[in-house]
Amino acid sequence: MRLTAEEEAMLAGERGEARKWALEHQIQVGRMFDAGDMVEVAQAHMMADPESLGEAGVAFVERLAALPEDERRVAVPMLTDPRGVDLSQYEPLGQTEEMAGLERRFVAAARALGIMMTDTCINYQTIMPPVRGEHVAYGDTGVVIYSNSVCGARSNFEGGPSALAAGLTGRTPRYGLHLDEHRRATRRYVVSRQPRELTDWGVLGAVIGQKSGSYWEVPVIEGIERVPTSDEIKHMGAAMASYGSTPLFHVVGITPEAERIEDVGGEGLRPEEIADADLDALREPFGATGETVDVVVFAAPQLSLVEMAQVAALCRGRQRHEGTALIVCTSPGVHADARRMGYVEAIEAFGGRVLEGTCFYQQYAREIGEANGWRRLLSNSAKIVNILGGYGYLPALASMERCVASAEAGRIV
């Protein structure tokens, strides 16, 4: 890889140990993906919940945090993905002191590095959406796919260590989605059944992700008849990334790089129909109508203020069944606004619990499931039902309206 004088200085340790580690890490990754050089980034965003960090990961970040201030501070604005523990209410969820202890240690270390604890996977809706053409180093697959596809920014999936490296060096290896050639369409899908509500958009994204099935495939989608809302396209992207490891999609006439299909080189690709049967087959394992439900979850991605208002409106005047928990996850910023506007109060009056700065699957989902005896889980997120089968849950999928009605009835309606 070609390095600038500044990068050579970092590699030689002249900018301290942290930046030396970071650049060495980036060169290893860059070589594997044939990066010719580095590209400067405007922001970094790190996924680093204590469940995935573990003791080893927290200790690693603490070692960086113990370095002198000028060596350890991040070089560009750096945000965090959802945390694993809401420190204001972890005991009722069955999370342990050990989990909370790891969380506290990581937060202290991250603050020492100068990281902004935004604790959100919807930073593109709530903090600072990236600009078309802007190079960024984002973690969280949902953040990356939205930022690439809807905003036209340029990011690879940056796992926690690589996002941290990018924060420390202010650059990232120039490969993958930073390059024009990897942003051109490779698969062409034609939609006929129009998605109506959030779960439909998630299911559509899941099917396209499943069909594409690789980080290096770029779907271009035709046939969408109306402009989706930010929340709708958020659910579509998050599910696509979850099922397919997909980091970028184009929707003709809607997303910024694909005003026409020719703009992304998709006109010569074989059109693949998204059949009704494909959409039905995706939902089929997540049916379970009539069965008792232990926990209803709204998360993955965290809820926007608009979604918080929608859930609150559905909760008003109703009560959850005593055998069914309701968990809602949102960012600290949205949480504050939602409390101010009475949405948190309405959800709590229903008997729900609103968690601040976490996301359900990133908060020791297996352990809290075991602690609370939760097996049958219902959500409107196509992403979360894909994940939680591996965590000992029996996940089911339904619209936001049906989720709240099921929490009230104690069984899936």
Where are the extended beta strands (E) located within 182-304? 187-191, 219-222, 250-251, 271-274, 295-303
Which of 361, 358, 362 is CA-nearest to residue 335? 358
- Of the ranges 26-34, 299-307, 368-376, 396-404, which one interacts with another protein (CB under 8 A)? 26-34
Per rule CB under 8 A, is residue 192 in the interface with another protein? no
Using CA atoms, how far residue 174 sits from 34, 35, 41, 166, 182, in Å, is 9, 5, 10, 12, 11
CA–CA gap between residue 211 and residue 270 (Å, rounded): 14
Residue placing its CB nearer to another protein in the complex, 157 or 189 = 157
Write down how long the chain is. 413
Residue placing its CB nearer to another protein in the complex, 35 or 344 = 35
Residue placing its CB nearer to another protein in the complex, 373 or 389 = 389
Whose structure tokens read 């002249």?
14
Residue placing its CB nearer to another protein in the complex, 139 or 357 = 139
The residues in 76-95 that bind another protein, with binding defined as CB under 8 A, are 81
Residues 6+ positions from 374 with CB-CB distance below 8 Å: 294, 295, 325, 368, 393
The residues in 125-144 that bind another protein, with binding defined as CB under 8 A, are 139-141
CA–CA gap between residue 277 and residue 300 (Å, rounded): 25
The residues in 257-276 that bind another protein, with binding defined as CB under 8 A, are none
> 324, 293 in Cβ contact below 8 A?
yes
Per rule CB under 8 A, is residue 379 in the interface with another protein? no
In whole angstroms, how close is the CB of 201 to another protein at the nearest point? Answer: 18
Residue placing its CB nearer to another protein in the complex, 10 or 338 = 10
- Of the ranges 156-164, 229-237, 248-256, 401-409, which one interacts with another protein (CB under 8 A)? 156-164
| The only residue of 8, 12, 31, 319 in contact with another protein, by rule CB under 8 A | 31
| The only residue of 4, 12, 52, 97 in contact with another protein, by rule CB under 8 A | 52
The residues in 310-369 that bind another protein, with binding defined as CB under 8 A, are 361-362, 366
Residue placing its CB nearer to another protein in the complex, 89 or 245 = 245
Residue placing its CB nearer to another protein in the complex, 74 or 315 = 74
In whole angstroms, how close is the CB of 139 to another protein at the nearest point? Answer: 5
Helices (H) and strands (E) in the chain, counts: 17, 14
Which of 413, 231, 236, 405 is CA-nearest to residue 326? 405
- Of the ranges 24-32, 66-74, 223-231, 275-283, which one interacts with another protein (CB under 8 A)? 24-32
Q: How many CB atoms lie within 10 A of CB 262?
A: 11
Q: How many CB atoms lie within 10 A of CB 312?
A: 24
- Of the ranges 29-37, 289-297, 328-336, 344-352, which one interacts with another protein (CB under 8 A)? 29-37
Residues 6+ positions from 367 with CB-CB distance below 8 Å: 94, 95, 96, 99
In whole angstroms, how close is the CB of 307 to another protein at the nearest point? Answer: 22
Using CA atoms, how far residue 364 sits from 41, 93, 286, in Å, is 31, 10, 22
Q: Quote the distance between the C-alpha of residue 412 and its chain's center.
A: 26
- Of the ranges 193-201, 220-228, 237-245, 349-357, which one interacts with another protein (CB under 8 A)? 237-245
Per rule CB under 8 A, is residue 284 in the interface with another protein? no
Per rule CB under 8 A, is residue 53 in the interface with another protein? yes
| The only residue of 12, 33, 68, 323 in contact with another protein, by rule CB under 8 A | 33
| The only residue of 7, 20, 44, 57 in contact with another protein, by rule CB under 8 A | 57
> Any bridge partners for residue 274, and if so which?
191
Tell me the DSSP string of 181-197. Answer: GGSS--EEEEE-SPP-S
CA–CA gap between residue 71 and residue 74 (Å, rounded): 9
Residue placing its CB nearer to another protein in the complex, 133 or 285 = 285
> 44, 78 in Cβ contact below 8 A?
yes
Per rule CB under 8 A, is residue 387 in the interface with another protein? yes
Residues contributing to the site for another protein (CB under 8 A)? 25, 28-29, 31-33, 47-49, 51-57, 60, 81, 139-141, 156-162, 176, 213-216, 241-245, 361-362, 366, 386-387, 389-392
